[in-house]
């Protein structure tokens, strides 16, 4: 079977597992490694699709759980699918809802059949089976859909992690039988908490299923970053070389660099947009908390050298004023900047892979960003 | 003395006092009659300057009172003035702070010298004299600055209105002595509550002073619209024909049409941006409250026939979803639409004046908008 989404590998890095590629999707090519902005409720918060394009995004993520509850998958289907509903003509990946259900904590109950939970909107009882996750994602119409998984909490006992990974594996088989196929590619998800053996077994099992792509889930849930990198080092060698690998929910600049070096092709995270709305910008020199009094009369751009609209047109003093005055334009401009920052980082990473100097680029970037943990940088 | 701002009259309407013109300012030409979006805190809420331009705005208003308190006029001056601070290269008009101080109600005390009030931000005691209003507006650097006035409440006794208008007249003389001149044009403000004789006297007094332009203040403060139109009919004939007339704080579509017919050249109001943030759109067919359940599965644009970005790309169902989900993009898109709607109305009004069919245009527009008060339409 030819998957709807195909990874073309363009260049492999010699000193690491990093590779540059192009993910061919029904909604255009996506250069990898890539970062996917998160559009939870069919909008990447505070931005328009045109702004996402300008920032450099070619693929975005939307959340099945949220859209299922509101406005409803059926409505999105009748609107012509998610692309048309939200006016985004690039690629879309929808998660399966598994992670959001996991975040509900005590509000959900997991069984072999699926997950019972209460809606965070109105408290209504909902039961979601792997088959439902497929139907909903079919209606949403994303280019890439994710298998329904259980995301184990951190920390968790080895026995729980093993049981959870096994359940996720059984659910994956049900997803495969219920998957819409056609223009939608199904990715499986490697679980196994922070246990390398478990992760490795899970990856091998998934590799045997010859999936269109592989999510690596259940990381960045509270464990030290070093453990996350160890898991990547255990999982990636087991996955098929020609399939995309997607590290779910990870978006800090240091983790993007370190993830790429360990063979990851795709990332997503609410981090850049969420911290922007709280007034924090990512810059070459580290984080800038714009409300800080030191910026009150600072007429320089947020990140000198950055080419985004925010940095070309507005000063730190103005941005600080907007946040002090609780003006929406402030969080709009920081959101644009942070997305531009991460998309630019990914573009530079891709260029560094092509130029054969990814290690040097990564070290330089992380040092300037104020990130000096040499152990995690040991690539 | 040649004022920094000059009105060139291009065409007079035969059946009314309406005229089409071009206001030449240090920051480019402004076609009149015009509507000025309000950028209270050095940002028209939820929009960028580029979006304002796209909507058709050539001039915006900013509030002296707010900017004086935060971030401070001195900071704006050191940032290179308001245009540069907020990255708007079109014309700017700043109000004097008089109206905002008036809105503080019991929190302010008016004397011959000026107004004592408490800051709405931190309760600090502030004293604002007409001379201060000039200094602050000089620092902000707008193309058009307004005299410091007292805006009488509605209703108010004739004696109070007369006393208040007299105080405003004395303050105007002080403003004239303290005005920065140069590239900044000072407009006086006609007061007089809803008393035609008082308004007429006030207008004559101001006309004698040969000002760069004339604000008509203290209207749209609770009085019936018919009374507002009567006041315009009393005031406008007394004002110099070759100077711009600015009806302050008025922005409902019906009042724009009726104001233009009575000789008004400029308007401003928070209405289009404020109601947008609450989910109300202005359309050719009247107001649309987008949260209404009837729009849940309505895949038509907000205002079919409208050429704004919102109407070209998004459905009512999507906009409703954004408001239901409290997404910032929702109020962004409605703000864009409402501004585009009013700026388009003004452009059509100007075209109708040139074509000699303003009365027919106005009647057609108001009828479609659901506005059928024939008395107010008696032009």
Instruction: Indicate yes or no: CB of B327 within 8 angstroms of CB of A296.
Output: no
Say if A174 falls within a structural domain. yes
Do A175 and A282 sit in the same domain of this protein?
Answer: no
Distance CA B119, CA B214 (A): 28
Residue A114 burial class via C-beta count within 10 angstroms: exposed 0-12, middle 13-18, buried 19 and up? buried
Closest partner residue to B42 (CB to CB) among A78, A79, A321 is A321
The number of domains in chain A is 2
SS3 label, residue B287: strand
| Long-range pairs for A176-180: beta carbons < 8 A, 24 or more residues apart | A176/A147, A176/A209, A178/A130, A178/A131, A178/A134, A178/A135, A179/A134, A179/A145, A180/A134, A180/A137, A180/A138, A180/A145
Strand B6-12 relative to strand B19-25, pairing = antiparallel
Do A168 and A291 sit in the same domain of this protein?
Answer: no
Domain final residue pick, B234, B269, B304:
B269
pLDDT digits (tens, 9 = 90+) for B216-226: 999 999 999 99
Both tokens of B127, joined, read: 């004293």
Say if A377 falls within a structural domain. no
Say if B374 falls within a structural domain. no
Do A79 and A203 sit in the same domain of this protein?
Answer: yes
- State the best of B38, B42, B43, B89 to mutate against chain A, taking most chain A CBs within 10 Å: B43
Distance CA B61, CA A131 (A): 56
Do B260 and B318 sit in the same domain of this protein?
Answer: no
Say if A373 falls within a structural domain. no
Count how many Cα atoms sit within 13 Å of the Cα of residue B269 in the half-sphere of its side chain: 23
Helix axes A253-261, A225-235, angle to 10 degrees: 30
- Which residues, other chains included, contact A373 with Cβ-Cβ below 8 Å and sequence gap of 6+? none
Q: Do the Cβ atoms of B10 and B21 come closer than 8 Å?
A: yes
Q: What is the pLDDT of residue A1?
A: 54
Both tokens of A61, joined, read: 């993520």
Distance CA A322, CA A324 (A): 6
Residue of B213, B302, B195 lying closest to B25 (CA atoms): B213
Residue for token pair 């509101």: A70
Distance CA B121, CA A302 (A): 26
> Per-residue pLDDT averaged across B77-84, rounded?
98
Instruction: Indicate yes or no: CB of A332 within 8 angstroms of CB of B331.
Output: no
Do A125 and A180 sit in the same domain of this protein?
Answer: yes
Q: Mind listing the pLDDT tens digit of every residue in chain A (379 residues)?
A: 578 999 999 999 999 999 999 999 999 999 999 999 999 999 999 999 999 999 999 999 999 999 999 999 999 999 999 999 999 999 999 999 888 888 888 788 999 999 999 999 999 999 999 999 999 999 999 999 999 999 999 999 999 999 999 999 999 999 999 999 999 999 999 999 999 999 999 999 999 999 999 999 999 999 999 999 999 999 999 999 999 999 999 999 999 999 999 999 999 999 999 999 999 999 999 999 999 999 999 999 999 999 999 999 999 999 999 999 999 999 999 999 999 999 999 999 999 999 999 999 999 999 998 865 544 444 4
Q: Do the Cβ atoms of B95 and B86 come closer than 8 Å?
A: no
Instruction: Indicate yes or no: CB of A45 within 8 angstroms of CB of B327.
Output: yes
Residue for token pair 């109305």: B345
> Per-residue pLDDT averaged across B230-251, rounded?
98
Question: Distances from the Cα of A14 to the Cαs of A11, A353, A358, A361, in angstroms?
Answer: 9, 9, 9, 14
Residue B288 domain boundaries: 276-368
Do A186 and A121 sit in the same domain of this protein?
Answer: yes
Do B233 and B325 sit in the same domain of this protein?
Answer: no
Contacts of A296 in chain B (CB under 8 A): 71, 75
The phi, psi pair for A34, rounded to 5°, reads -130, 155
CATH of the domain at A193: 3.20.20.105
Contacts of A314 in chain B (CB under 8 A): 87
Say if B378 falls within a structural domain. no
Say if A163 falls within a structural domain. yes
Q: Do the Cβ atoms of B278 and B249 come closer than 8 Å?
A: no
Q: Give how far the C-alpha of residue A62 lies from the chain's centroid of Cα atoms, to the nearest Å.
A: 10
Residue for token pair 């499986």: A188
As beta bridge partners, residue A6 has A24
Q: Do the Cβ atoms of A244 and A5 come closer than 8 Å?
A: yes
Which region among A329-333, B20-24, B101-105 has the lowest average model confidence (pLDDT)?
A: B101-105
Instruction: Indicate yes or no: CB of B46 within 8 angstroms of CB of A332.
Output: yes
Do A17 and A85 sit in the same domain of this protein?
Answer: yes
**Which residues of chain B approach chain A closer than 8 Å at the C-beta?**
41-43, 45-49, 66, 70-71, 75, 78-80, 85-87, 296-297, 299, 309, 313-315, 317-318, 321-322, 324-325, 327-329, 331-332
Closest partner residue to B329 (CB to CB) among A46, A80, A324 is A46
Q: Do the Cβ atoms of B251 and B273 come closer than 8 Å?
A: no
- Which residues, other chains included, contact A94 with Cβ-Cβ below 8 Å and sequence gap of 6+? A61, A62, A63, A64, A67, A82, A137, A140, A142, A144, A145, A146
Establish, for the pair of chains A and B, how many residue pairs have beta carbons separated by less than 8 Å.
99
Domain final residue pick, A239, A269, A299:
A269
Both tokens of B107, joined, read: 């929190």
Residue A243, min C-alpha distance to chain B (Å): 34
Instruction: Indicate yes or no: CB of B71 within 8 angstroms of CB of A324.
Output: yes
Do B135 and B251 sit in the same domain of this protein?
Answer: yes
Say if A2 falls within a structural domain. no
Q: How confident is the model at residue B377 (pLDDT cuts 50, 70, 90)?
A: very low
Ramachandran region of residue A221, left (φ > 0), alpha (ψ -120 to 50) or beta?
alpha
Domain final residue pick, A247, A269, A291:
A269
- Quote the ipTM score: 0.97
Say if A376 falls within a structural domain. no
Do A165 and A214 sit in the same domain of this protein?
Answer: yes
- State the best of A38, A39, A43 to mutate against chain B, taking most chain B CBs within 10 Å: A43
Do A179 and A297 sit in the same domain of this protein?
Answer: no
| Residue B188 DSSP label | E
Q: Give how far the C-alpha of residue A36 lies from the chain's centroid of Cα atoms, to the nearest Å.
A: 5
- Give DSSP secondary structure letters for A186-250: EEEEE--TT-HHHHHHHHHHHHHTT-SEEEE-S-SSSS-HHHHHHHHHHHGGGS-TTS-EEETT-
Both tokens of A316, joined, read: 């730190």
Q: What is the pLDDT of residue B248?
A: 98
User: CA geometry: angle at A23 spanning A22 and A25, to 5°?
Assistant: 135
Look over chain B and give the mean of its residue pLDDT values, rounded to a whole number. Answer: 95
Q: What is the pLDDT of residue B1?
A: 54
- Which residues, other chains included, contact B297 with Cβ-Cβ below 8 Å and sequence gap of 6+? A75, A78, B317
Do A314 and A344 sit in the same domain of this protein?
Answer: yes
Helix axes B196-208, B158-178, angle to 10 degrees: 10
> Per-residue pLDDT averaged across B112-135, rounded?
94
The phi, psi pair for B280, rounded to 5°, reads -110, 125
């Amino acid at each position: 079977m030819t998957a709807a989404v195909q990874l073309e590998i363009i260049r492999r890095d010699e000193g690491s597992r990093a590779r540059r590629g192009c993910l061919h999707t029904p909604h255009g090519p996506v250069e990898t490694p890539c970062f996917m902005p998160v559009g939870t409720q069919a909008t990447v918060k505070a931005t328009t699709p045109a702004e996402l394009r300008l920032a450099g995004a070619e693929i975005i993520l939307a959340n099945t759980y949220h859209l299922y509850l509101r406005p409803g998958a059926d409505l999105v289907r009748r609107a012509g699918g998610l692309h048309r509903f939200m006016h985004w003509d690039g690629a879309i990946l929808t998660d399966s809802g598994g992670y959001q259900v996991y975040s509900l904590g005590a509000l959900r109950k997991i069984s072999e059949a699926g997950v019972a939970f209460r809606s965070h909107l109105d408290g209504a009882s909902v039961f979601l089976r792997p088959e439902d996750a497929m139907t909903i994602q079919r209606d949403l119409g994303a280019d890439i859909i994710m298998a329904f998984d259980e995301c184990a909490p951190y920390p968790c006992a080895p026995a729980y992690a093993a049981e959870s990974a096994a359940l996720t594996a059984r659910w994956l088989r049900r997803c495969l039988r219920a998957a819409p196929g056609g223009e939608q590619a199904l990715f499986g998800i490697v679980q196994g908490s922070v246990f390398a053996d478990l992760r490795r077994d899970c990856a091998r099992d998934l590799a045997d299923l010859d999936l269109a792509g592989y999510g690596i889930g259940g990381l960045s849930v509270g464990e030290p970053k070093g453990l996350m990198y160890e898991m990547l080092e255990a999982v990636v060698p087991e996955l098929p070389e020609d399939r995309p690998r997607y590290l779910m929910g990870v978006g800090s600049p240091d983790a993007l660099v370190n993830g790429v070096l360990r063979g990851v092709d795709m990332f997503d995270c609410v981090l850049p947009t969420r911290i922007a709305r709280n007034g924090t910008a990512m810059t070459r020199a580290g984080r800038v908390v714009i409300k800080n009094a030191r910026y009150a009369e600072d007429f320089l751009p947020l990140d000198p050298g950055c080419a985004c609209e925010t940095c070309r047109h507005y000063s730190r003093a103005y941005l600080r004023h907007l946040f002090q005055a609780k003006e929406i334009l402030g969080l709009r401009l920081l959101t644009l900047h942070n997305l531009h920052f991460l998309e630019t980082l990914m573009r530079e990473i891709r260029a560094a892979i092509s130029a054969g100097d990814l290690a040097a680029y990564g070290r330089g970037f992380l040092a300037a960003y104020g990130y000096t943990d040499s152990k995690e940088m040991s690539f």
